[in-house]
Structure 1
């Protein structure tokens, strides 16, 4: 699309509303229109005042600027700030175009639009539009699997909006929490969301859209951590808030999140109905990534219900949509769940062929996780390479992939390889606090160790699993955030 050429701005470090900059603009515009200082000043002001103003020796009042703008034939805002008339509105319209490009196309194509818009917003000192462009860039980077860069963009948007009311900052906070969730930092994702909810409620800022966004975003990390009761409570609050929200995309996201809690409670038909509502909204809005997530979760619902044929079809549809959008990380995560269904359907070779390109070897990934543990915060800047799941990129699904490869190795009688994969999965899931999956993994590892004669080691594995099952979520989460008055 054609881009507007930005007008020349003030020198770096000079504010556009500085008296010298305003004087320079008045002088330039007066010259372009062929007016004398007297013609510009009359009838309200003197030529001497215009001369002093053009020299940057006086800050004009709003009344003076409005008089001069009318005589010069420009808008008040353009004369006061140097921004062309309707610039902000035009940028916001193009931001909507970029959002549509992300919904329907590849993230890197939308990212280029957002970068251009961000640069223009910086040139013209438009912080709101800068923040909107950064939020869009963050979403693009999430889809592309570039989690550290996405986190940085969301943090920069939050910083730009620091003086705005907290509800305005919620999309940036939710973006940061999502990046941490996908990295595998479940506890920190919960902390960000819960502390923001507490702050909103303590301040009496009961903004329905902000609350719905936060409660919906908290369901996934709660479920992965095994805190099912807390996830169900968040889902109940989200459902109660939905009638007060006009944004259909937010409501669709709520239905998708609530479905996870219904699945955990065994309410499969209700979960599928909730996903169908979300799917229809996303299809109507042409939001392809979220539509793919609905197919993805419906595949999970069918798999939980034992309908593996329909599960495979839904997951293949999700994979096809995400791959066509080049949403790398989400595509890889769907492939892990598709591989699980394929293995259960007896298509073991196809399942293994899907999983192996997603991971380094079991032993290598185990060593990588231990290295990250030793390096601490320094590992944050060292993302796992694009195209592979690991400790810093999709950790929960990386653990799931190793678990599946372990099962496949066991079925083939390769117990040594199976143990390597189980240990790699255990390391990844412990680091991410995904206690919901840890107990089952400890059982698998314990059974393997017992069958190979290592009874004491098997007992240790079983004890670890029982510890995770005893009180899921209670060792990693503090008190739940207070519910808002509904």
Structure 2
């Protein structure tokens, strides 16, 4: 075996040793496996701890075993290592749990500092900010965003826009969708104005705008933003595409084709981002479906709402899935498919959930019963809808159902009951209006 070098302490030794240790751990090698046949495990331990500086021959041996160049190992600035870390970020977007995503992002952020890669570190910190919001920790999210924005200060506009998306997400989480919409709109307009219309970034901006428009009650703007987003979400199976690009990038790295691997890594990242956005894209399908329904395109609405319902159910968003299920049932009713509408309503309604969702389902059930000639059932469900909308404080919907039921009662030869219902409904709408006025005055 080769004779060990003398003990030399210092920052250079420590930095090199840390790189050797990290790369060895990432590749699943023991100290003995890295050392043999020329060195000892004790020698590798001394190098990793910074107590010894390896010779050029030892560096070359370690670099070969670790799959990097000696220069990469000495300086820590390895194009191949940067590509590996970019692949790790793509894997973070594909991760199923917040804990797994956070672990990968922490790993990448620390490695990016050593590699002096500010954009890579910023993207890892944006991932950590997203995890913090999922954990309902806006303070931690804000700290990560602050750091990311500083790191991206000199980056191109389409890269800085990624931080704007994170800042908008924080504002939305804080209950300020109006400010979130302003940040997203400014970022989008700047990219288009300055000649940086990056499709992957525009996709995220438009998709995030959808939920802001929905929260602000602007249905037309939500449908338009959803249409823009879905036009850019062109991958039918993004998870499969991401896996394929990850495999290609890994193979290219193994054969030393770093530049080509970097291209594959970026393609993997863009596909993986669509996977991470799957529930948000489902909301885009919902918003576009609602817009198509308003325009009379029932077939288009059916396709979009069915897609949204499936994805939200699979993504573990039961409350949103129930809402979309009721909307989908309305479309099936309009298309003359009552059995499918009824099946969705059975699955969609959760009496312990949002009373307005249950009320909307009761309204559809009332219409289905009326279509079947079941007047008693229709009245029972529509009166349940009235009670639900009243409990939810939904004045417009309450008034609409009151008018609907009054028309039915009139048609059934019960004009007196229709007048009584309208009188009571008007009184309840007025009461809700007074309650809203009081709340606004005291806010």
Deviation string, structure 1 residues 58-90 (Cα, Å, up to 9, x no partner): xxxxxxx9xx98995575675466x88843321
Deviation for aligned residue 1:158:
1.5
Change (3 A) 1:356 1:198: closer
Change (3 A) 1:118 1:466: closer
Deviation for aligned residue 1:121:
2.3
Which of 127, 132, 138 matches 2:123? Answer: 132
Which structure 2 residues correspond to residues 81-480 of structure 1 after superposition, within 5 A? 86-99=80-93, 101=94, 107-108=96-97, 114-124=101-111, 126=113, 128-129=119-120, 131-133=122-124, 135-136=126-127, 147-149=134-136, 155=142, 157-165=144-152, 167=157, 168-175=159-166, 177-178=168-169, 185=175, 188-195=176-183, 206=194, 207-209=196-198, 213-214=204-205, 217-227=208-218, 231=221, 256-258=226-228, 277-278=231-232, 281-283=234-236, 287=274, 289=278, 296=286, 299-306=289-296, 308=298, 311-312=301-302, 314-324=304-314, 326=316, 331-344=321-334, 345=336, 346-347=338-339, 349-357=342-350, 360=352, 399-405=356-362, 408=365, 411-413=378-380, 417-426=384-393, 440-441=396-397, 443-444=399-400, 447=403, 451=421, 453-454=423-424, 457-458=427-428, 460=430
Deviation for aligned residue 1:194:
1.0
The count of corresponding residues between Structure 1 and Structure 2 is: 320
Distance across 1 between alignment mates of 2:134 and 2:380: 37
Q: Where does structure 2 lack aligned partners over 5 or more consecutive residues?
A: 1-8, 21-34, 40-49, 64-69, 242-273, 367-376, 406-418
Deviation for aligned residue 1:408:
4.0
What is the TM-score normalised by the length of structure 1? 0.47
Which structure has more RCO (C-alpha within 8 Å, separation ≥ 6)?
A: 1
The CA RMSD over aligned residues, in Å, is: 5.5
Contact 2:329 2:344 in 1 (8 A): yes
Distance across 1 between alignment mates of 2:306 and 2:429: 39
Distance across 2 between alignment mates of 1:314 and 1:451: 36
The aligned counterpart of 2:372 is none
Distance across 1 between alignment mates of 2:209 and 2:435: 25
Aligned residue for 1:282, secondary structure, equals coil
Change (3 A) 1:84 1:211: closer
Contact 2:184 2:208 in 1 (8 A): no
Moved over 6 A (4+): 26-29, 68-71, 150-153, 199-202, 461-467
Deviation for aligned residue 1:191:
0.4
Distance across 1 between alignment mates of 2:300 and 2:343: 17
Distance across 2 between alignment mates of 1:117 and 1:158: 17
| Structure with the higher fraction of residues in helix conformation | 2
Contact 2:286 2:308 in 1 (8 A): yes
- Structure whose CA Rg is larger: 2
Distance across 2 between alignment mates of 1:460 and 1:27: 74
Distance across 1 between alignment mates of 2:179 and 2:57: 53
Contact 2:16 2:74 in 1 (8 A): yes
Deviation for aligned residue 1:163:
0.8
The aligned counterpart of 1:370 is none
Deviation string, structure 1 residues 313-365 (Cα, Å, up to 9, x no partner): 553344335544556565445324223324544446424312223x5156xx6
Distance across 2 between alignment mates of 1:169 and 1:312: 37
Q: Where does structure 1 lack aligned partners over 5 or more consecutive residues?
A: 1-18, 35-53, 57-64, 236-253, 260-274, 366-398, 427-437, 468-474, 476-486
